[in-house]
Structure 1
């Protein structure tokens, strides 16, 4: 199978490349730095700077994961514009190129996030739920999904992966927590009651591969473990795994002053459930947070 990836040099993309190379797939990564693709993704992975550099040979699927990290820095107007262009504008460019292509892939798997729902409070959110709060993260994910779904007009089946908080030893949000927790300065954010829809990176890779091969898969799928936890429980569990205390709360006011609008992302949450994945027969390897964090800690 020939698969084109955007975001192929990112945390999830790199591991997908390794996984699919082992399965014998042919992989092409569209990247701003194509010269680094082979080193990051595997020697057999081709990097291209322009979609037009791809030949007219058969293309079976596109996995669209590109997007600047959403929680790396405060949401200034400039940062919001970058977050928007790296997702929506890039996906529009991808669709415009597909319109010109004679042979089209049968499947587009496009990234999204559980932030699509906004701050869900205590509501249990499966894929039939509607957005709860119209904040920037929700607007961003809604626009990203709507743009990707336009590929259906080209006869391409579209799958939307609403990812939760990915636990990985190679980066992601967990890497930003390790230093304060190791220094004994970790703890809950705000009141710690917000839900955290987490997922182990191995399950994230497995479920994308599962959806790639699932005949008839379409629409949104929540990519998070079936047992979300509250932020306070997450902090306590991470502290135990690292053998450090986790009782230093970060006051909500301090987060709002320091991070501005971005603080909404940290103080809100989603009790998201992977209903459609479970109905389709996907089996999670990690459903217990302590087991997932223990596994990540062994890899650090």
Structure 2
């Protein structure tokens, strides 16, 4: 089996590539940085520039599946320039892949495309599932909606399409967790706003396994990649503090203060998305780290 991965050199893409290579799969990957192009027996890089709709068509030779993770990180100040690039990078990447598959002979059976649970409305009470259609209308919700619409077009080419909505991905190397851990270790951690907002999370290893599950099964449509046990933000920090054997002594930070420091990006900290993983569980997927305490212990033994 050969898989083409976009975003393969990023935080999540690297973990997925390493996992699949360990399983004996061949990986082709696309990169916008020519210095990152490698060529080994099972791991080959190809150049592309989605902004200019440029791509090396050799990247799909012998490829059975595509994992599309490409897009500018949302972990930046949401000014007008960055917001435009966040959206455009996702749309351009998907359009470039679509044109490649539309105009070249290939054997691609399925494409798995990333999205995010930010598509769901900010709701403190409701458990939201893939059947929801009343989406968030803020920036991140709009990005996810347009991103998913672009990726659903692959169905028109007769290619099975699976859109995986990532929750808060936990890793001790990248993402939000190291920042939270640093604050806890320095006794600077505090709830954001009320702290009652839900964080729907997933261990990086389980996320990688969800992608692998999507490659091995006929799962299609939309799938939430979150643990069955979300945590409120203050419970999340309390569990992390206990794991690191530290105390939380700082008072909560009012939402208004977060708006001043983070601008529109404060929604990443204060919005509540309590997301269901029932579809994934009903398909037969088994989490290795369903509980936050076990996930954190895996990182901080």
Question: TM class, shorter-chain normalised?
Answer: over 0.9
TM superposition shift of 1:246: 2.1
Indicate whether 1:157 and 2:160 are aligned: yes
Q: Which residue of 1 aligns with 2:106?
A: 103
Post-superposition, which runs of at least 4 consecutive aligned residues in structure 1 deviate over 6 A?
none
State TM-score, norm by structure 1.
0.93
Structure 2: gaps spanning 5 or more residues: 49-54
Structure 1: gaps spanning 5 or more residues: none
Q: Report the count of equivalent residues.
A: 294
Q: Deviations over 1:76-104 (max 9, x none)?
A: 00010110122112111111111111124
C-alpha contact (below 8 Å) 2:68/2:112 kept by paired residues: yes
Indicate whether 1:225 and 2:227 are aligned: yes
C-alpha contact (below 8 Å) 1:163/1:222 kept by paired residues: yes
Q: Which residue of 1 aligns with 2:20?
A: 20
Q: Which residue of 1 aligns with 2:46?
A: 48
C-alpha contact (below 8 Å) 1:184/1:244 kept by paired residues: yes
Q: Which residue of 1 aligns with 2:189?
A: 186
In 2, Cα distance between equivalents of 1:73 and 1:148: 24
Q: Which residue of 1 aligns with 2:51?
A: none
In 1, Cα distance between equivalents of 2:285 and 2:111: 19
Q: 1:176 aligns with which of 175, 179, 185?
A: 179
TM superposition shift of 1:34: 4.2
CA RMSD of aligned residues (A): 1.7
Instruction: Give the secondary structure class of the aligned counterpart of 1:123.
Output: strand
Residues 19-28 or 134-143, more deviating: 19-28
TM superposition shift of 1:287: 1.2
Indicate whether 1:7 and 2:10 are aligned: no
TM superposition shift of 1:195: 0.3
| CA distance 1:262–1:55, change in 2 (3 Å) | closer
Q: Which residue of 2 aligns with 1:62?
A: 66
| CA distance 1:174–1:183, change in 2 (3 Å) | same
C-alpha contact (below 8 Å) 1:113/1:161 kept by paired residues: yes
Instruction: Give the secondary structure class of the aligned counterpart of 1:54.
Output: helix
Indicate whether 1:295 and 2:293 are aligned: no
C-alpha contact (below 8 Å) 2:2/2:27 kept by paired residues: yes
TM superposition shift of 1:125: 0.8
TM superposition shift of 1:73: 2.2
State TM-score, norm by structure 2.
0.93
Residue correspondence of structure 1 range 70-149 to structure 2 within 5 A: 70=74, 72-149=75-152
In 2, Cα distance between equivalents of 1:209 and 1:37: 24
